Amino acid sequence: MQFRTESSVSAMNSFMFFLFFFSLLLLSRHHCAEVYEISPAQPLSEGQTLVSPRQVFELGFFSPNNNSGNNKYVGIWHKSIFPRKVVWVANREKPIAASDTLASLRISSKGNLELVDGKQNPLWSTNISVLSNGSAASLLDTGNFVVKDDDVGAEPLWQSFDYPCDTLLPSMLLGFNSKSGEKNFLTSWKSESDPSTGMFMVGLTPQVPSQVVVWINGSTPYWRTGPWDKSTFIGLPGANDAYTSGFRLDDNAEEGTKYYSYNSYNSYNYGDVLEYSDISSDGKLKFMNSERGEYWILDFVAQNNSCDKYAACGPFGVCKRSESPTTPICKCLKGFAPKSHQEWTKGNRTGGCVRQTKLFCETNTSQSVALRRNEDGFLKMTQLKVPDFHEYIQIPISDAPKCRTQCLKNCSCVAYAHVDNIGCLVWSKDLLDIQEFAYGGEDLFIRLDRSELGK
Ligand SMILES: *[C@@H]1O[C@H](CO)[C@@H](O)[C@H](O)[C@H]1NC(C)=O
Ligand SMILES: *[C@@H]1O[C@H](CO)[C@@H](O)[C@H](O)[C@H]1NC(C)=O
Ligand SMILES: *[C@@H]1O[C@H](CO)[C@@H](O)[C@H](O)[C@H]1NC(C)=O
Ligand SMILES: *[C@@H]1O[C@H](CO)[C@@H](O)[C@H](O)[C@H]1NC(C)=O
Ligand SMILES: *[C@@H]1O[C@H](CO)[C@@H](O)[C@H](O)[C@H]1NC(C)=O
Ligand SMILES: *[C@@H]1O[C@H](CO)[C@@H](O)[C@H](O)[C@H]1NC(C)=O
Ligand SMILES: *[C@@H]1O[C@H](CO)[C@@H](O)[C@H](O)[C@H]1NC(C)=O
Ligand SMILES: *[C@@H]1O[C@H](CO)[C@@H](O)[C@H](O)[C@H]1NC(C)=O
C-alpha cells in the first residue's frame, strides 16, 4: 500500500515535471503550472496553482477586482467557473504587496503551512502545534484545503473548513462548540475588492431550537431564519423546498455543539452540481448553484423584501410582506398602538407599539388562579414568521391547548405557538421581528386582556 502510494506520487511528480517543462517550452514566460501538493520540497509560488484531484477547485494567488493591480491574496475558487467566486482566503487581513512577485506558500521546518512575502516575512500561518517534519498540503474536491502528515495519522492536522471566510460550501459546518469555544461563523468581506473582515457575520444562536442569524457589527441582528423544525427553518416559506431538503442541523446538547450544514442535490458527483452560500459585503446571504459548472445561478437570497430587515416594525409590530418590496408595511398587533404616533405617521416604525390594556394577570396578582373568572385570553394570528427570543418548553406538550395552559400559568408569557415538529414555544419579552406571509408561516397566539378580545 505504502509502496503503491509512493510510486504513484513519484509518477505524478515526474508527470508534473514533464508538464512544467513542456508548458515552459510552449508558452515561454506565460506558463501557469498546476500542482497537486505543497510539500517541504515543493512550495507554491505566484504563477502556480494547487488543484484538487478532479479539478473541481483551485488554489492560488489572486487580486480582487479582476487582477487589476490590487493587493494580492492566496485563495480558493471553483476551477471551471468564470467569473471566479473566491470561496476562501488565507491572508485576508495581511495582503501581499502588488509589486511582490516572490511570495510563496510553503511548509516550514516545523511542519506549518505558511505564507511568506518575497523577503520571507510570514504573512499567515496555520500555527499547527504538532511537531511534524513530513507534512504536506493538498486541496480536496470538496474545496477543503488540508495539511496532513501521513506519519502522524490520516486526520488533517489543519483544515480550511475550520476557518470559514464569507462562504459556506456543501459539507462545511457552520456553528459552534460551546465547551471548546470554537466558532465556525461566516464573516463578510469589507467590500467587493477587500477580503478583510467586514461588518456582517453569519452564525447559529444558542437557542433551542437554534436559528441562523446574520449580525451586523458582531451583535446587532440583521436577519434571521426563524427556529429549526428538524427539517427546515420555519421563517423561510419562500425558500425552494428541493433546496432546503439538503439542510441539516445537528444539535448535540451533551457535546455542547450546534452545527448547520447542507449538501448538494447530487453529492455523489462533484462537478455536476456546484453550490455555495455566502454573505456579501452589504449583508445579503444567498445560495448559488451551477448545474453544469458553467455559470452561477441565484437560488435564494435571504433579504428580498423590506420586511426581512430585522425588527423592521419595532416591538409588537407586524410587517406585512408585499409585492412592493421597498417600504415595509407595518401595523401594530391587535391590542397595541404605536408608541409614538408622531414618529409612526412620519414613517419611522422602529419605536414599535405598546399594549393598550394592561394584562389581567398583572393587575390582580394577589388573587388565586381559581378566583380569576376573568383571566386573560389569546388572539390567534396566522401565517406568521414567529417573533425572536422564543423559549422552548422542555416538558412534552402534545397540542396547542396544553401549550396555552403553560403560557397562561406564567404572567411573563405574552405569546405562544405550538409548532409541528418542534412543540410548545413561548415568548416573555417584547415581540420582535414578526412578519405576515402571503402563504406558509405559523399560528401565533398573543396574550391580551379579555376586554381587548371583545373589541
Ligand atoms: C475580467 O477579466 C476577464 C478576462 O481576463 C474578462 O473577460 C472580464 O470581462 C473582466 N471583468 C471585468 C469586470 O472587468
Ligand atoms: C497564527 O498565530 C498568529 C499569531 O498568534 C495569529 O495572528 C494568526 O491569526 C494565527 N493564524 C491562524 C490561521 O489562526
Ligand atoms: C523526520 O522525523 C523522523 C522521526 O521523528 C526521523 O526519523 C526523520 O529523520 C526526520 N526526517 C527529517 C528529514 O528530518
Ligand atoms: C456598524 O459599525 C459601523 C462602523 O463603526 C457604523 O458606521 C454603523 O452605523 C454600525 N451599524 C450598526 C447597525 O450598528
Ligand atoms: C424574491 O421575491 C419574489 C416575490 O416577492 C420572488 O418571486 C423571487 O423569486 C424572490 N427572489 C429570490 C432570488 O429569492
Ligand atoms: C425613530 O423613532 C424612535 C423612537 O420611537 C427614535 O428614537 C428615533 O430617533 C427615530 N428615528 C428617526 C430616524 O427619526
Ligand atoms: C382586580 O381585582 C380587584 C378585586 O380584587 C377588582 O376590584 C379589580 O376590578 C380587578 N381588576 C381588573 C382589571 O379586573
Ligand atoms: C415565568 O417565565 C419567565 C420567563 O420565561 C421565567 O423566567 C420564570 O421562571 C417563569 N416563572 C415560573 C413560575 O415558571
**Is residue 125 lining ligand 2, measured as CB closer than 6 Å?**
yes
- Which atom, in ligand 7's list, is nearest to the CA of 364? 1
302 Cα: distance to centroid of ligand 5 (angstroms): 10
| CA distances from residue 315 to 300, 353, 388 in whole angstroms, order as listed | 28, 6, 10
The kind and range of the H/E element at 24 are helix 2-27
Domain hosting 176: range is 164-304
**At which of 275, 304, 333 does a domain end?**
304
Same domain for 65 and 94? yes
Q: Is the pLDDT of residue 17 over 80?
A: no
Same domain for 131 and 157? yes
- Which atom, in ligand 2's list, is nearest to the CA of 127? 1
Residue 382 — pLDDT band, cuts 50, 70, 90? Answer: very high
Residue 199 — pLDDT band, cuts 50, 70, 90? Answer: very high
**At which of 304, 328, 356 does a domain end?**
304
Least confident of 224-233, 299-308, 322-331: 322-331
Contacts of 352 (CB under 8 A, 6+ apart): 311, 313, 314, 315, 316, 317, 332, 338, 339, 430
Q: Report helix, strand or coil for 186.
A: strand
Same domain for 125 and 257? no
**CATH code: domain of residue 135:** 2.90.10.10
Q: Whose CA is nearest to atom 10 of ligand 8?
A: 410
What rounded mean pLDDT belongs to the chain?
87
Q: Is the pLDDT of residue 434 over 50?
A: yes
Residue 273 — pLDDT band, cuts 50, 70, 90? Answer: confident
302 Cα: distance to centroid of ligand 6 (angstroms): 26
Q: Whose CA is nearest to atom 2 of ligand 2?
A: 127
Same domain for 81 and 19? no
Contacts of 454 (CB under 8 A, 6+ apart): none
Ligand closest to Cα of 222 equals 4
Same domain for 284 and 318? no
First to last CA, the chain: 80
Q: Is the pLDDT of residue 27 over 50?
A: no
68 Cα: distance to centroid of ligand 1 (angstroms): 10
**Is residue 217 lining ligand 4, measured as CB closer than 6 Å?**
yes
Least confident of 27-36, 125-134, 270-279: 27-36
Residue 13 — pLDDT band, cuts 50, 70, 90? Answer: low
**Is residue 126 lining ligand 2, measured as CB closer than 6 Å?**
yes
**Is residue 125 lining ligand 8, measured as CB closer than 6 Å?**
no
**Is residue 304 lining ligand 5, measured as CB closer than 6 Å?**
yes
Q: Please spell the DSSP secondary structure of 307-338, one letter per residue.
A: GGSTTTT-TTEEEEP-SS-SS-EEEEPTTEEE
Q: Identify the pLDDT of residue 4.
A: 43
Ligand closest to Cα of 64 equals 1
Other CB atoms within a 10 A radius of the CB of residue 23 amount to 15
Least confident of 27-31, 168-172, 231-235, 243-247: 27-31
pLDDT mean over 136-150: 94
Q: Identify the pLDDT of residue 264.
A: 65
265 Cα: distance to centroid of ligand 4 (angstroms): 38
**Is residue 129 lining ligand 2, measured as CB closer than 6 Å?**
no
In 3D, which of 73, 64, 60 has the Cα closest to residue 100?
A: 73
**At which of 289, 304, 319 does a domain end?**
304
Q: Is the pLDDT of residue 364 over 70?
A: no
Predicted confidence (pLDDT) per residue in 103-130, tens digit: 999 998 888 999 999 999 999 999 987 7
Q: Alpha-carbon distance 66 to 365, whole Å?
A: 67
Same domain for 184 and 292? yes
Predicted confidence (pLDDT) per residue in 301-320, tens digit: 988 888 999 999 999 999 99
Q: Identify the pLDDT of residue 28.
A: 39
- Which atom, in ligand 7's list, is nearest to the CA of 366? 5
Winning range, highest mean pLDDT, from 59-68, 305-314, 357-366: 305-314
Predicted confidence (pLDDT) per residue in 240-266, tens digit: 665 666 788 999 999 999 999 988 655
pLDDT mean over 379-406: 95
**Is residue 348 lining ligand 2, measured as CB closer than 6 Å?**
no
What is the number of domains present in the chain?
Answer: 4
Give, for ligand 7, the residue of 355, 363, 366, 372 to mutate: max count of ligand atoms closer than 8 Å to Cβ.
Answer: 363
405 Cα: distance to centroid of ligand 8 (angstroms): 14
Q: Whose CA is nearest to atom 2 of ligand 4?
A: 217
Other CB atoms within a 10 A radius of the CB of residue 65 amount to 13
- pTM comes to 0.86
Residue 3 — pLDDT band, cuts 50, 70, 90? Answer: very low
Least confident of 59-63, 135-139, 373-377, 401-405: 373-377
138 Cα: distance to centroid of ligand 6 (angstroms): 53
Q: Identify the pLDDT of residue 7.
A: 46
Same domain for 300 and 181? yes
**CATH code: domain of residue 212:** 2.90.10
Q: Whose CA is nearest to atom 3 of ligand 6?
A: 351
Top-confidence residue, 398 or 372: 398
| Residue 141 CB-half CA count within 13 A | 12
In 3D, which of 331, 349, 327 has the Cα closest to residue 340?
A: 349
- Which atom, in ligand 5's list, is nearest to the CA of 238? 14
Ligand closest to Cα of 158 equals 2
Same domain for 116 and 253? no
Same domain for 322 and 411? yes
- Name the percent of the chain lying above pLDDT 90: 67
- Which atom, in ligand 4's list, is nearest to the CA of 217? 1
132 Cα: distance to centroid of ligand 3 (angstroms): 9
Cell representation of residue 301: 437570497
Q: Is the pLDDT of residue 324 over 70?
A: no
Q: Are 108 and 149 a contacting pair, CB within 8 Å?
A: no
Same domain for 315 and 443? yes
Q: Alpha-carbon distance 387 to 112, whole Å?
A: 47
Residue 25 — pLDDT band, cuts 50, 70, 90? Answer: very low
Q: Is the pLDDT of residue 285 over 60?
A: yes
Same domain for 31 and 42? no
Give the sheet arrangement for strand 104-107, strand by strand.
44-45, 104-107, 113-116, 122-125
Q: Alpha-carbon distance 123 to 115, whole Å?
A: 6
Same domain for 219 and 253? yes
**Is residue 300 lining ligand 5, measured as CB closer than 6 Å?**
yes
Q: Alpha-carbon distance 451 to 385, whole Å?
A: 26
| Residue 57 CB-half CA count within 13 A | 23
143 Cα: distance to centroid of ligand 2 (angstroms): 21
Burial of 152-161, coded b for 16+ CB within 10 Å and e otherwise, reads beeebbbbbb
